[in-house]
Structure 1
Amino acid sequence: MTHMDLTGRSALVTGGAQGLGEGMAHALARAGARVVIADIQDDRGAKLAETLGTGHGFVHLDVTDDASWAAAAAAAVEQLGGLDILVNNAGVEVSSLLADLDPEGVRKMLEVNVLGTALGIKHAFRTMRPGGAAGNGGSVINIASVAATIAFPAIAVYSATKSAVDRLTRVAAMESGKLGYGVRVNCLYPGLVPNEMGAGLANDVARLGLFGSPEEAVGAVVELTPSGRLAATEDIANAVVFLASDSAAFVNGAGLPVDGGMGM
């Protein structure tokens, strides 16, 4: 087994039915992990699990609901025979100028991005710690965003929620260590990916008059990125595999930028 080989390990990926989560599920499976996709999109999630092949599965999960988390964690352990890796990927972005904030959009981002991540950590700890249903420790990987490290217009609340993910990560790592849970907790700061969410943001900032067109908005992001391109799903997914692997055995309480240098 190489340090990046996840053979024999079990992973749950929230928001795994599409976008970055789908790419992460595929990357973890390629590395040898058995994967349970957790999402509110039942049909899409179940179909994706089938494409991953035998040994993988799907569970319904509303990340904002504590009881849903408890059921999903238990189902994942039952399907996989354990749980070693949680990827807290589920997230939403609602673009708005601060002068025009809609409280409902703010609440949605707070509930999914902050509460959802916190509940994921809670149930990962309860499942992975000594005496838990899995009980062998593990790795929690929270998905923050380059938005937590830069000042980009129209995403103030989204940026705040992703900064909260960073803080949750660091406190969780300390609690796990102090209490002997054996669970490493890290987060990623993905750069802008040209998927559905990324395209939505480009369209939104153009609609709000901040850029002349979605293409101009994308160009501004690329201009701010030393690597000279947008992120690819594979860039983020490969970093998830790294943090889940033995190659990151002494990486804990960290935030890893995968943004081409945009947030430096």
Structure 2
Amino acid sequence: MTDYLGYRGKACVITGAASGMARALTELLVDLGAEVYAIDRVDSPVPGVKQSFIADLGDQASIDALFTQLPARFDAFFGVAGLAGVHTSFLDTMTVNYTANKYITDTYLTERLNEGGSIAYVTSAGGLRWEFPEIREELAEFTDAAADWDTLVERTRAFDERHGGELAGFVGYMLSKRALNLFVAERVERFAAKQVRINAVLPSMTATGMLGDFAEQRGGMDNLKAASTGPAGRLAEPLDMARALVFLGSDLAGFISGVFLDVDYGMNALELAGVNPMRTRWTFADTLAKRAS
């Protein structure tokens, strides 16, 4: 049988690989014959991974130590790990969800991905509308190509202080996902010069270990399900997202880069068509000003 997906024997690196959609992705890639390097705060429970690494994506030194142990070259990078922001600070949420991914991409992936390789980040439906000019302007200080780890940490703190110094972690979740979407778009040309593709998957609400946190933020599971089931009539499962990630990283998607794949069974399409109200076209400044008034 022809290996249309093209993963057999290829080295794939996955963050967050011990649980949720990243674990489902790890299982699929192992089954497809990939050499999977699994990263999380605990060892991967998936049989057949090439190697499992423990790392803290909120710590620059931990990331640097990790990349001394990973292969010098690999074929695919899947950035899946993230924080919901319900029980973590604004700074910690931004650091893990955005700063770590920017740092990994700019510091390591530009030189270590093989030609024909791919990068796929998991952002969120919560990061929609990043493309509107007024929202891009709000994100520019974070996607600045010259901003290193320390600069981004300081800018994150300053952003918090400009908005009262008490931004919730969930605000960091929304901001980080928008920033990561814009960052992916801004890196398309850089990676195209190396024949490497970079894309993002924007999941709708998914039944992972973070679901309880999101339900708490929404005022209970019933409220969450009422707002998040959409045309599918159910929440997404980790495998739904893993399949989309497998496709984007595969040979079948070999001419696809700069794509923001809504894996939501049409929820965003209904908003864009005006069938349902658009819930996410707001700036942080406007939203926080309304809360203060």
Length-normalised TM-score, structure 2 = 0.72
Matched, 1:216 2:223: yes
Matched, 1:243 2:222: no
Deviation of 1:62 after TM superposition, in Å, equals 2.1
- Deviation readout 1:205-249 (Å, 9 max, x if unpaired): 21xxxxxx4223212211xx1222111111100111101111100
> Does the residue aligned with 1:84 lie in a helix, a strand or coil?
strand
54, 57, 76: which is aligned to 1:60?
54
**Comparing 139-148 and 25-34, the one that deviates more:** 25-34
Q: Would the aligned equivalents of 2:204 and 2:228 in 1 still touch at CA under 8 Å?
A: no
Question: 1:71 is matched with which residue?
Answer: 65
C-alpha root-mean-square deviation of aligned residues, in Å? 2.1
Partner-residue secondary structure (3-state), 2:206:
coil
1:39 aligns with 2:40: yes
Once residues 52 and 24 of structure 2 are traced to their aligned partners in structure 1, the CA distance between those partners, rounded to angstroms, is 15
Instruction: Provide the C-alpha distance between the structure 1 equivalents of 2:86 and 2:61, rounded to a whole number of angstroms.
Output: 29
Contact 1:88 1:117 in 2 (8 A): yes
Q: 1:263 to 1:160 in 2, by over 3 A?
A: farther
**Contact 2:7–2:29 (Cα < 8 Å) also in 1:** yes
Give the 3 Å change call, closer, same or farther, for CA 66–181 of structure 1 in structure 2: farther
Structure 1 residues 68-107: aligned runs within 5 Å: 68-77=62-71, 82-95=73-86, 105-107=89-91
The runs of 5 or more residues in structure 1 that have no matched partner are 97-103, 129-134, 207-212
Matched residue type, 2:182 = R
Q: What residue in structure 2 maps to residue 125 of structure 1?
A: 110
Distance (whole Å) between structure 2 residues aligned to residue 220 and residue 234 of structure 1: 21
Work out which of the residue numbers 69, 94, 100 in structure 2 matches 1:110.
94
Query: What's the secondary structure of 1:27's corresponding residue?
Result: helix
1:67 and 1:95 mapped to 2: Cα distance?
Answer: 25
Structure 2 Cα separation of the partners of residues 67 and 83 of structure 1: 21
Counterpart in 2 of 1:199? Answer: 212
Q: Kindly provide the amino acid, as one letter, of the partner of residue 4 in structure 2.
A: H
Match of residue 252 from structure 1: 257
Could you report, residue by residue, the CA deviation over 1:36-82 in whole angstroms, capped at 9, with x for unpaired residues?
111122xx43xx2xx422x611122222334433332342216xxx4
> 2-side partners of 1:107 and 1:155: how far apart?
10
- Tell me which residue corresponds to 2:189: 174
Shift of 1:94: 1.6
* Structure 2 residue 172 is matched with structure 1 residue 157: yes
One-letter identity of the residue aligned with 1:245: S
**Runs of 4+ more than 4 Å apart:** none
TM-score for both structures, normalised by structure 1: 0.79
Q: Find the aligned partners of 1:148 and 1:89 in 2 and give their Cα distance.
A: 15
